[in-house]
Amino acid sequence: MLQYVCKSWHSHLTKSVVEVIDVVSHLCVFLEEKFLAWLEVLSVLGTARIAVVALKEVIPWLQVFGWLQVFWNEELLDIARDYFHFVTKFFEPINVSATHIYHSTLELSPISSIVQRLYYHRRHTLFPRVVVGTADSWDQGICISNIPKDNPYTWSPCGQFVAVVSGEAVEIQDALSAEITSTLTTPNTLPNHGLTYSPDGRTLAGLSDTLTIWDVQTGGAVKGIQYNDFGDGSIVWLLDGKMIAIAKHSTRTAHIHNVVLSTT
């Protein structure tokens, strides 16, 4: 029962349309007093990503009922937004170990953050402290530690995934959890000059001595265009998603490929 509640409370909350004011009062108590305890449970269960999903659903729910003037609690909305920064910024350490919530992530949170204001006093006095260098406010960064150095990688247009050359394949990783969602293989040489998503995010292109096109949804290499003079080239999709330009820096030339018809 505890697992179900921790994983699903946000789904029930955001479907609530009656007695919203009473529900919000309980939400206030939860966010102000029990939020980190909830994160601990999710971390132990290995489901910390649920915290990201929950806050992404709760924030617009709070906004909608505020706009409808059913209630308006600007501070509660600020708390939810602050917590979203917290769980996305420090997702990896939170997911790895519940103890990191208190002895590293809370310590490294900006001094102006709401999560530090509400929970910093709960840290054990024996934990190390950051005396100088703590940020003043949240930035938009996300910490990802396991992208191999110097390997080509690229973000999906939606910002939810990272494609990276790793080992003998191209891995699609969840940008927050770093979990591998799919693996793309190719009979050609693995990309070493770059990776790039199509504008709609459905297709991935990689450049080596061959231009390889993958269907991200099926994971299959749908097209390979042999061209042994790519050399120091780089690739970019045209906005229509049907053609790719390969710029060769040494000669200052560009080749346009229709990736549907495989012609140049």
- Exposed e or buried b per residue across 156-175, where buried means at least 16 C-beta atoms within 10 angstroms of its C-beta: beeeebbbbbbeebbbbbeb
Residue 258 has pLDDT above 80, yes or no: no
The answer as to whether 131 is a domain residue is no
Q: Are residues 176 and 227 both part of a single domain?
A: yes
Cα separation, 64 vs 61, in Å, equals: 5
| Cα distance between residue 147 and residue 88, in whole Å | 17
Q: For residue 85, is it within any domain?
A: yes
Mean pLDDT across the chain = 78
Number of domains in the chain: 2
Q: HEC states along 65-83?
A: HHHCCCCCCHHHHHHHHHH
Spell 32-55 as b/e; 16+ CB within 10 A means b.
eeebbebbbbbbeeebbbbbbebb
Q: Are residues 166 and 220 in the same domain?
A: yes
**Domain co-membership, 104 together with 171:** no
Average pLDDT for 174-183: 76
User: What number is the average pLDDT over the span 95-111?
Assistant: 87
Q: pLDDT for 32-42, tens place per residue?
A: 999 999 999 99
In a domain, 143, yes or no: no
In terms of domains, do 233 and 180 share one?
yes
Do 15 and 103 belong to one domain? yes
**CB-based contact 179:46 (threshold 8 Å):** no
Weakest-pLDDT range from 23-27, 55-59, 182-186, 234-238? 234-238
| Token couple for 146 | 């396991």
* pLDDT of 261 above 50: no
- Classify 172 in phi/psi space as left (phi over 0), alpha (psi -120 to 50) or beta: beta
Domain shared by 19 and 115, yes or no: yes
d(CA 264, CA 246): 11
Residues belonging to the chain: 264
In a shared domain, residues 98 and 159: no
Say what the pLDDT of residue 147 is. Answer: 56
Bridge partners (DSSP) listed for residue 246 = 235, 255
Q: Are residues 180 and 117 in the same domain?
A: no
Check which CATH number belongs to the domain holding 189 and give it. Answer: 2.130.10.10
pLDDT of residue 33: 94
- pLDDT per residue as tens digits for the range 56-87: 888 888 877 655 545 566 788 899 999 998 99
For residue 15, the enclosing domain spans 2-122
pLDDT at 17: 63
**Does 93 lie in the same domain as 38?**
yes
Q: Based on the fold, state whether residues 234 and 177 are members of the same structural domain.
A: yes
The SS3 of residue 117 is helix
> What's the pTM value of the predicted model, to 2 decimals?
0.56
Select from 29, 31, 23, 162 the least CA-distant residue to 84: 31
Q: Quickly state the pLDDT bin for 219 (edges 50, 70, 90).
A: confident
CA distances from 112 to 33, 75, 106, 132, 138 (A): 18, 14, 12, 14, 9
AA letter at 217 = Q
